[in-house]
Amino acid sequence: MKLLLVEDEKALADNVRAYLGNEGNICELAADFNEATDKLSGFSYDVVVLDIMLPDGNGLDVLKEIKRHNPDTGVLIISAKNALEDKIQGLELGADDYLTKPFHLPELNARIKAIYRRRKFQGKTDVTFNEIRVNTETLEAWVNDEVLPLTVKEHELLLFLIANRNRVLTKQSIAEHLWGDNVDFLDSFDFVYQHIKNLRKKITTAKGNDYIKTIYGLGYKFSNQ
């Protein structure tokens, strides 16, 4: 998953990013309202973890921007305030869930995964596309009953392709999903081709169909058509 954490407490933000990163996610940080809206205008995210209290604005205003421009993005509100009206207002504005500080990192991770499953895969842990099956919890994948030996990046790439099946994905959008804002330091997107090539080979070696279509000059499409 590609995540954005909007949180001004640096120690907490660093701990959350480290934990979520160890779980195989790309987690970017924004410390205030302006940085959050800047990142949201330039990148797309699966889930935004959003603090209500920001030094230069209200997190609920960030939520409004998300729902106005990126309505498919999941939102988990976090806040030290446990006031009922904040929770109700956030949920009414379109947030998916609400977590009060202090929280345990495993619970945060579990709630993020639940939002992602609901948003992308109707709440399912096992995601299937014809003979391909992917487990979003265990990071395992199969073609029929044969295990696919995928790396973490290949697993994330396969989920990204399935979630966006029948849509053309540019190399840049794939790169941003897999590497976050670190793509700014890359000279090219050649590594995307290599990941696609490796994933395609592993699927076909396991006697699966090649659903990854190269759209020349644009990118790739995952489709059985």
Beta bridge partner(s), residue 129: 132
Please say if the pLDDT value at position 205 is more than 90: yes
Q: Where would I find the H helices in the chain?
A: 10-22, 33-42, 59-69, 84-92, 105-121, 152-163, 171-179, 190-205
Rounded to whole angstroms, the Cα distance separating 189 from 89 reads 41
pLDDT value for 123: 80
* Tens-place pLDDT, residues 159-196: 999 999 999 999 888 988 888 766 666 667 788 899 99
Q: Are 189 and 214 in contact (CB under 8 A)?
A: no
C-alpha distances in angstroms, 60 versus 78, 82, 139? Answer: 11, 15, 33
Greatest alpha-carbon span in the chain:
55
Residue closest to 42 by CA, chosen among 31, 30, 60: 30
**What percent of the chain has pLDDT above 70?**
95
